[in-house]
Chains A and B, each alone.
Chain A
Amino acid sequence: MLETLARWSMLSVAHVLTGVRGVTTTPLPSKPCVYFGNHVSHGDFALIWAVLPSAQRARTRPVAGADYWEKGPLRRYVGRKVVRAVLIEREREQRNEDPIAQMSAVLAGGENLILFPEGTRNLTDDVLLPFKSGLYHLGRSNPGLPLVPVWIDNLHRVLPKGELIPIPLLCTLHFGAPIEVGEGEDKPTFLARAREALLAQRPAHLVEAS
């Protein structure tokens, strides 16, 4: 009950503050898939949620760092109950569970994932940080898994790091055609291809400006 209310408030704020809109060129996959996007803010996944059809939204869970979301009772509540995050341990030494197995189990259960392959929020001037290898390993352990690139445009300007007041700029999510890890494709080749697929979703005026 409380979770439903919290989710509803979160989505309402996302809609009113950013007027978020999803742009798709191909239909979203009907089988379980992974949405992977650029990570600029804690609100990223809320925007993806906000534009997904409600039936999809209920079956789509963000992958997030356990170190961040296990800190304190409020974060734990939001992370586990409100957004139903799949919490993975980012530091290899502290792992009890294999993150790829965790994520594959969720997909096997018929749910979608939201993944930010940069591994952390990009607070630099670079357009996109190097990808971590999780997306590759996940795609390899689940052959045929559709990986949908989602470029999140403008959210970093709504509330940049270190600022207190959000400003109501318009955000747009650009969904690209799904990609898969090819048979026998090696890690660097795939990660470069995935990165290109995500960058290709940027609107033309941003590509020229940068």
Chain B
Amino acid sequence: MSTTLTLFLGIFVVLGFASSVALILRLTVAKGRPHAVIDNLFDRINAWWVMVALVALAFAFGKSGVIVLFALLSLLALREFVTLTYTRRSDHLALAMAFYVALPMQYALIAIDWYGMYSIFIPVYGFLFLPIISALRADTTRFLDRIAAVQWALMLAVFCLSHVPALVTLQIPGFEGREILLIAFLVIVVQSSDVLQYVWGKLFGKHKVAPSLSPSKTWEGLIGGVLSSTLLGAGLWWITPFTPLQAAGIAFSINLMGFFGGLVMSAIKRDHGVKDWGHLIAGHGGVLDRLDSVLFSAPVFFHIVRYGFTP
């Protein structure tokens, strides 16, 4: 427990520092006047305080707390994804099943720790049964587009995201009772990679990685951000069952996955002509805008730990 407390104290210190820097920038650079970048920075940091408080609250309730938190995040992410994609009236029942059956079932399977089922429930049974439901309505207009959208929505917003709370079910010898810290490691490393890519990009960014996908992603931001958050991951080895070197390697892998996750999700947004998935989190956009990197890194992190560190 003391590790968790130390960790959250550390995060509060970092956020306090960020808020102070933003305040100084507002007083010196913006001089109290509206300033797009600095105002957005303020919104972002304030949203971080709220998000950290929510995670802290979930952690206080332990395993059930994180399962409930991520089930709710999945619900918000799923609605953002489906809202943006093309479906028809004939998909209504399939969508209702996705929201009201597949989502709660996935998290219930994690709660009872049935690995063999929660790792195939959506990729196999969801994949096969949801198109059957849509096909029974005999509406063939853009059929493949529609069922693919429903499947993608479930895979990303529910299946991938559910691998975050699934980390607490892993039984690692010598690490019993501290599994929840794996979630802290994953989320801190991946989210700080996003933040550090933003900071490095704003300070030194010149050469764009994929201008047509995301104008804000630069090589300078990518390299600086991924390397510095890999160092941060190595520095967090004491909250994990990993050695410092292992922690660095794992942090590097999930940072890369997170970066590519952001790229893929940007491609979907650009294809639909929107900048953000939603508007729930001031300064950040939607829940999916904040979680895009976590979606892609969570299953990889889960399986690295499961195959490498459990008997």
Contact = CB atoms under 8 A, between A and B. Distances in A.
Interface of A: 19, 21, 154, 157, 160-161, 163, 165, 167-170, 203-205, 208-209
B272 A168 contact: no
Contact of B83 (A154, A160, A165, A209): A154
A19 B280 contact: yes
Given A19-B280, A21-B279, A163-B92, A204 B79 contact: no
Contacts, number: 41
Contacts of B100: 165
Contacts of B92: 157, 160, 163, 165, 167
Interface string B70-88: 0000010001101110110
B76 to A, nearest CB: 9
Nearest to B273: A205
B223 interface: no
B273 A170 contact: no
B279 A205 contact: no
B89 interface: yes
Contacts of B75: 168
A208 B86 CA distance: 11
> For chain A, what secondary structure do more than half of its interface residues adopt (helix, strand, loop), or is it mixed?
loop
A161 B96 CA distance: 14
A166 to B, nearest CB: 8
A155 to B, nearest CB: 11
29 contacts: A19-B278, A19-B280, A21-B279, A154-B83, A157-B87, A157-B92, A160-B89, A160-B92, A163-B89, A163-B92, A163-B93, A165-B96, A167-B82, A167-B92, A167-B95, A167-B96, A167-B99, A168-B75, A169-B83, A170-B79, A170-B80, A170-B83, A203-B274, A204-B273, A205-B84, A205-B272, A205-B274, A208-B273, A209-B86
B20 to A, nearest CB: 32
